[in-house]
Amino acid sequence: MSPRLHDALNELAAGAPPEVSADRVLDGARRRRRIRLIAVPTVAAAAAAAILIGTALVEGRTEPPRPAERPDPPLVTEPGKILNPPGVLPGPLPKGKVEPIVYAFLDHCRGKNLKETTSVTGDCAQWRLVGRSGKQWRLPDGVGSRAVRPDDYMSGDAPLEISPDGRRIAYYRAKDQCIVVRDLTSGKVTPVGPRWVPSAIPSLMFSGDGTRLALNPRDETRTSRPLLGDVRTGTSTALPSGTVIGLSQDASTVVLGDIWNEKAPLTVSGADGSVRSRVRLDPTVSLRGMDGNALSPDGRRLLASTEHMDKALLVNVQTGKIASTLRITGGVGTVGAWAGPTAYFSPRDVSAPPGRRLEQETPSEASRGALVDLTTGKYRYFGRTFRIETTQASQAFGGYLS
């Protein structure tokens, strides 16, 4: 031990209380030094921990990136079952890719029975889309049912059109106030044509290949001209006056007629709006009640009907003369899409007879696709049956070629 340390210890011992020995003083000195040595790194660690905790708290104020939201699961309905059970709504249509759509409907916010009335607003007033597998979604950005006037129990509809392959839908989108086309293979939405007020939204018709969309203004004065839109670019071309009643497969040929004046000639134009010819129809041909794309894919034949809609008349577009007449089992019906020059798809009503419907609290409507053969006049059903319960409905069919 060094002399200096020895002297210091003697001084500590001398100043200590009588009952405290030098050995105890030495033990206390060693213990205080050990505590100081332990305390220094402990404080440093505590300070570092405090810094880390403070940093974590500060960083905690910034919300971390959220994972991509998963879309609501679609409503899946078994074949033949009711698509709109009361109180059940499907989730919204995902923004990305979805399967081809084959059916769409509005039930105007159906109630549980005929005595129950509801306001046609909110999610239940949106178009409901049914995919090829039976999955069902709502179309949240589209206008569906709408009240014609306040407190009116009747409702108006904004149109929706499904392309023949089911991979595109055209509808009126509220925020754009115009017709848009959604590509269901990518989710891309393309506005087509100008803005329209809700009371003047045009009717819609896809070409056979789904690349063109005809917009027929709802104008009884017939002062507005129809448009032909390119669904890929959104550009539109004004067509000659009249109502578009037929588009060839690629819309390179457009046929327009005056459904209010059967003596008026047909107008045949190109996709650019140029008039190719004006043709007078055979007087026995009626354009009244025509629904869908009446022009054959090659642009040569127009499918018309007799006044009672029981016979199909194939009209030569170049001459206006009837090329053939054929009685169709079940009537001509709507031309949903063409399956070649002599066959077309048509939705058919397969609901219960009217007497049985009246016995139900809520009427049931059922539809199914049929392939009509223009060489035999017969048809055969295909695909699923679409069944809904409602007192007022709007329906759209498509996806025949999917």
Output the 3-class SS for 279-308: ECCCCCCECCCCCECCECCCCCEEEEECCC
Domains of the chain plus CATH, in order, are: 75-397 (2.120.10)
CB 400 within 8 A of CB 347: no
Number of other CB atoms surrounding residue 80 within 10 Å: 10
Tokens encoding 8 = 């210091």
Phi, psi of 358 (to 5 degrees): -65, -25
What does each of the 402 residues of the chain score in pLDDT, given as a tens digit?
544 444 544 443 444 444 444 344 334 444 444 333 333 344 344 444 443 344 433 333 334 444 444 556 778 888 878 999 888 899 999 999 999 999 999 988 876 665 665 667 788 899 999 999 999 999 999 999 876 555 444 457 899 999 999 999 999 998 999 999 999 999 999 999 999 988 889 999 999 999 999 999 986 545 589 999 999 999 999 999 999 999 999 999 999 998 888 788 999 999 999 999 999 999 888 887 788 999 999 999 999 988 788 999 999 999 999 999 999 999 999 999 999 999 999 999 998 765 554 555 667 889 999 999 999 999 999 999 999 998 778 999 999 988
Tokens encoding 167 = 């991979």
pLDDT of residue 231: 97
pLDDT of residue 41: 44
Tokens encoding 137 = 């979604």
As a residue count, the chain comes to 402
pLDDT of residue 178: 95
pLDDT of residue 115: 60
Alpha-carbon distance of 129 to 138, in angstroms, equals 6
Q: Residue 121: which residues within 8 A CB-CB, separation 6 or more?
A: 109, 147
For residue 212, the number of C-alpha atoms closer than 13 Å in the C-beta half-sphere is 21
Name the burial class of residue 48, with classes exposed (0-12), middle (13-18) and buried (19+) by CB atoms within 10 angstroms of its CB: exposed
Quickly list H helices, 73-140. Answer: none
Strand partners, 157: 145
Q: Name the strands in the sheet holding 236-238, side by side, starting at the edge strand that comes first in the sequence.
A: 203-206, 212-216, 227-230, 236-238
Burial 82-103 (b: 16+ CB within 10 A, else e): ebbeeeebbbbbeeeebbbbbb
